[in-house]
Amino acid sequence: AYLIYFAQRSAPSCMAPAEELPLMAAQARIPARCVGAVRASFSVAAETPFGSEVRVVGSIDALGAWMPEAGVALRTEPGSYPEWSAVVWLPAGTARKTSTVEYKFVITKPDGTVEWEDGPNRQ
C-alpha cells in the first residue's frame, strides 16, 4: 500500500512581468503575444510510487480541460520530494471568460492508471 496525500501549498496567483513572458510562455505552450498572462503556481505534497507522475488537471484548456493526459506535469527533485510543483501561464482574459478556474491534482502510475484527488474541485 502506498501513502498518497494531497495538501495545497499554493494556488493560481500573480501577474507576469512582461520581460519574463516570452520564455515562460514558450515553455507552457502559450503564445508570447498573450501579454498580461497570469502566472499560476501549483504545488502539492504527494508520496507516489516510483515512476509515477503528478499532474494538475482543470476546467480550462491550459490545464487540460479535465483530460489527465493533457494536464500540466508537475516536477519534483530528490531534495524536495514529496513536494511537486509547476508554473503555468494562463492566457490573458481567462478570468473574464470563466468566473472560476477549477482543478484537481492527479497521479498517473507507471501502468497508466490515473488516481484523482479526493474531495471537491479546487478553485
pTM passes above 0.75? no
Backbone angles phi, psi at 63, to 5 degrees: -110, 20
b/e 100-122 (16+ beta carbons within 10 angstroms → b): ebebbbbbbeeeeeebebeeeeb
What class is the 8-116 domain? mainly beta
Instruction: Count CB-CB contacts under 10 A for residue 37.
Output: 26
| Average confidence score pLDDT of the chain | 76
Q: Where are the domains of the chain?
A: 8-116
Query: What integer pLDDT is reported at residue 101 of this predicted model?
Result: 86
pLDDT in tens, 34-93: 556 788 899 999 999 889 999 999 999 999 999 999 999 999 999 999 999 999 888 777
> Do residues 85 and 74 make contact, with C-beta atoms less than 8 angstroms apart?
yes
> Do residues 24 and 87 make contact, with C-beta atoms less than 8 angstroms apart?
yes
pLDDT in tens, 89-102: 887 777 666 668 89
